[in-house]
């Protein structure tokens, strides 16, 4: 089996981008636009900042195509760029300057998951309070713990991938996650 | 077995159990332990409840102009963005198969076929082999719409490692990013 055959599909697409294939870039953008923006949104908790950072991620993917080496999964490389940008943004305080309110357009998902599809005012209020508590609890985590939880819970990434993104060992990621979840369980225990 | 909570090196074991990622034999062994360990039971219940709480934070919709802004920046004054040639517009990525089988283009093809059908039926003699004109048009439109429907539900599967010919596959069956 050749090296190319062993590569994951996305890495093969990225190698085609490196060779100048625009169709492959469009495919990668289409596949990862949503996951990257959602990850960044949960990291910085501001929609416009998240989308601005996501633009930067995909610009860097294109501009860095010449140096791309498929030594790891494409998603590892992609989320490493996204995580670094998010952490830098948090340190610059960009997201805080534009902190969104809970009832803003990006306050949560597409809608409430209630059986009759027509939530009462009370249900909406309960949902918003619950969502705000989740957001606050995650926002209070240290940057690395936050990134690890988001990649593990929402992106369903493996420990080995998270470790490569964060530049630490796999046992360190497990320990990071264990502490982060312990903290979240404590903060959100009353919601159970 | 040793209690995983008391051993930091097995910190991931309980998380994997809650995420249903453990092998069946390890799952069975851990469940036997949990039967007599209140701490592990409490961890499991707390973690499952936490994940249900985190599920409340759903994804948000992406702004409609995201791609336009991105390509604008890539093609901007200092951009060296991906130039989309007529070739790549038509044939897409070598790994994705022809772009002309993606949903927008079949619609255009369908329109061309309908128009062609109408032009044929507008011949001066107005004759259409043995069928009333309205019936033929309706049938053509129906066929074209069915074709369009079918095409829009199908995508090309990428070539395999040996470069074997692509075959049709539902979009959901395309390879995932993570194993
Ligand atoms: Zn135990």
**Average pLDDT value for residue range A58-72:** 91
**Domain assignment of residue A167, given as a range:** 116-192
Q: Give the residue, A63 or B103, on which the prediction is more confident.
A: A63
Q: Are residues A62 and A6 in the same domain?
A: yes
User: Does any domain span residue A192?
Assistant: yes
Q: Give the residue, A46 or B147, on which the prediction is more confident.
A: A46
When pLDDT is cut at 50, 70 and 90, the band that residue A118 belongs to is confident
The one-character DSSP state at A110 is: S
How high is the pLDDT of residue A112? 44
The one-character DSSP state at A153 is: I
pLDDT higher than 50, residue A3? no
DSSP labels for A169-184?
A: -HHHHHHHHHHHHHHH
Q: Interface pTM (ipTM) of the complex?
A: 0.82
pLDDT 10s digits, A86-108: 999 999 886 565 555 444 444 44
pLDDT 10s digits, B20-63: 889 999 999 999 999 999 999 999 999 999 999 999 888 888 99
Domain count, chain A: 2
How high is the pLDDT of residue B9? 72
CB contact under 8 A, B54 and A184: yes
Note whether B69 and A3 are within 8 A (CB).
no
How high is the pLDDT of residue B43? 92
- Residues in B 31-90 with any Cβ partner in A closer than 8 A: 46-47, 49-54, 56-63, 66-67, 69-70, 73-74, 80-85, 88
Burial A51-65 (b: 16+ CB within 10 A, else e): bbbbbbbbbbbbeeb
CATH number at residue A159: 1.10.10.10
DSSP labels for B100-113?
A: GGSTHHHHHHHHHH
Chain B residues within an 8 Å CB radius of A141:
none
- The position carrying tokens 């082999």 is B129
Question: pTM value?
Answer: 0.69
Beta strand B155-156 with B168-169 is: antiparallel
Range B143-147, long-range pairs (CB < 8 A, 24+ positions): B144/B110, B144/B113, B144/B114, B144/B117, B145/B110, B147/B106, B147/B110
From CA A58, how far away is CA B66, in angstroms rounded? 11
User: Does any domain span residue A107?
Assistant: no
From CA A25, how far away is CA B82, in angstroms rounded? 8
CB contact under 8 A, B56 and A130: yes
pLDDT higher than 80, residue A36? yes
Q: Which of B50, B20, B103, B94 is nearest to A188 (CA)?
A: B50
How high is the pLDDT of residue A71? 84
pLDDT higher than 50, residue B162? no
User: Does any domain span residue A3?
Assistant: yes
- Residues in B 137-176 with any Cβ partner in A closer than 8 A: 158, 161-162, 174-175
Chain A residues within an 8 Å CB radius of B3:
none
pLDDT 10s digits, A41-50: 999 999 999 9
CB contact under 8 A, B57 and A134: yes
From CA A143, how far away is CA B107, in angstroms rounded? 47
Q: Are residues A23 and A82 in the same domain?
A: yes
From CA B178, how far away is CA A154, in angstroms rounded? 13
Tell me how far the alpha carbon of residue B6 lies from the centroid of ligand 1, in angstroms: 7
Tell me how far the alpha carbon of residue A184 lies from the centroid of ligand 1, in angstroms: 20
pLDDT higher than 60, residue B120? no
Q: Are residues A38 and A69 in the same domain?
A: yes
A180 lies within 8 A of chain B by CB = no
Q: Are residues A64 and A152 in the same domain?
A: no
CATH number at residue A81: 1.10.1740.10
From CA B170, how far away is CA A28, in angstroms rounded? 18
Q: Are residues A192 and A135 in the same domain?
A: yes
From CA A139, how far away is CA A143, in angstroms rounded? 8
Q: Are residues A81 and A158 in the same domain?
A: no
Q: Are residues A6 and A60 in the same domain?
A: yes
Q: Are residues A121 and A36 in the same domain?
A: no
pLDDT 10s digits, A68-87: 988 888 999 999 999 999 99
Average pLDDT of chain A?
86
Single residue among A38, A66, A98 that ends a domain in this structure: A98
**Helix, strand or coil for residue B5?**
helix
Q: Are residues A92 and A142 in the same domain?
A: no
Residue B106: burial class (beta carbons within 10 Å; 0-12, 13-18, 19+):
buried
User: Does any domain span residue A103?
Assistant: no
Start-to-end Cα distance in chain A: 50
Q: Are residues A48 and A75 in the same domain?
A: yes
Single residue among A69, A98, A127 that ends a domain in this structure: A98
pLDDT higher than 70, residue A54? yes
Single residue among A50, A67, A98 that ends a domain in this structure: A98
How high is the pLDDT of residue B80? 65
How high is the pLDDT of residue A189? 85
**Average pLDDT value for residue range A31-41:** 96
User: Does any domain span residue A105?
Assistant: no
Chain B residues within an 8 Å CB radius of A152:
15
Q: Which of B118, B96, B75 is nearest to B174 (CA)?
A: B96
User: Does any domain span residue A104?
Assistant: no
């Amino acid at each position: 089996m050749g090296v190319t055959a062993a590569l994951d599909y996305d890495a093969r697409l990225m190698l085609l981008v490196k060779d100048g294939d625009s169709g492959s870039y469009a495919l990668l953008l289409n596949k990862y636009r949503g996951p990257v923006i959602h990850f960044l949104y949960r990291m910085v908790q501001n929609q416009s900042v998240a989308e601005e950072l996501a633009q930067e991620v995909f610009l860097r993917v294109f501009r860095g195509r010449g140096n791309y080496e498929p030594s790891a999964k494409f998603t590892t490389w992609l989320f490493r760029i996204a995580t670094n940008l998010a952490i830098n943004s948090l340190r610059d305080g960009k997201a805080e300057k534009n902190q969104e309110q809970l009832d803003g357009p990006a306050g949560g998902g597409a809608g409430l998951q209630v059986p009759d599809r027509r939530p009462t005012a009370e249900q909406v209020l309960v949902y918003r309070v619950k969502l705000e508590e989740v957001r606050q609890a995650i926002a209070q985590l240290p940057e690395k713990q936050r990134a690890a939880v988001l990649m593990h819970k929402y992106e369903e990434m493996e420990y080995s991938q998270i470790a490569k993104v964060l530049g630490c060992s796999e046992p360190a990621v497990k320990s990071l996650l264990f502490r982060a979840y312990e903290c979240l369980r404590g903060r959100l225990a009353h919601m159970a | 077995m040793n209690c995983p909570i008391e051993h930091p090196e097995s910190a991931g074991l309980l998380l994997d159990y809650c995420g249903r990622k453990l092998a069946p034999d390890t799952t069975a062994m851990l469940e036997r332990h949990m039967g007599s360990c209140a701490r592990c039971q409490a961890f499991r219940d707390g973690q499952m409840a936490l994940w249900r709480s985190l599920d409340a934070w759903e994804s948000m919709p992406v702004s409609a102009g995201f791609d336009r802004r991105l390509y604008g920046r890539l093609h901007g004054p200092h951009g060296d963005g991906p130039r989309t040639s007529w070739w790549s517009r038509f044939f897409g990525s070598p790994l994705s198969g022809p772009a002309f089988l993606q949903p927008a283009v079949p619609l255009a093809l369908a329109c061309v076929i309908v128009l062609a059908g109408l032009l044929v039926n507008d011949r001066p003699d107005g004759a259409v082999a043995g069928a009333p004109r309205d019936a033929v048009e309706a049938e053509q439109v129906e066929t074209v719409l069915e074709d369009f429907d079918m095409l829009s539900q199908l995508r090309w599967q990428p070539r395999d490692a040996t470069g074997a010919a692509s075959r049709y596959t539902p979009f959901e069956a395309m390879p995932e990013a993570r194993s």
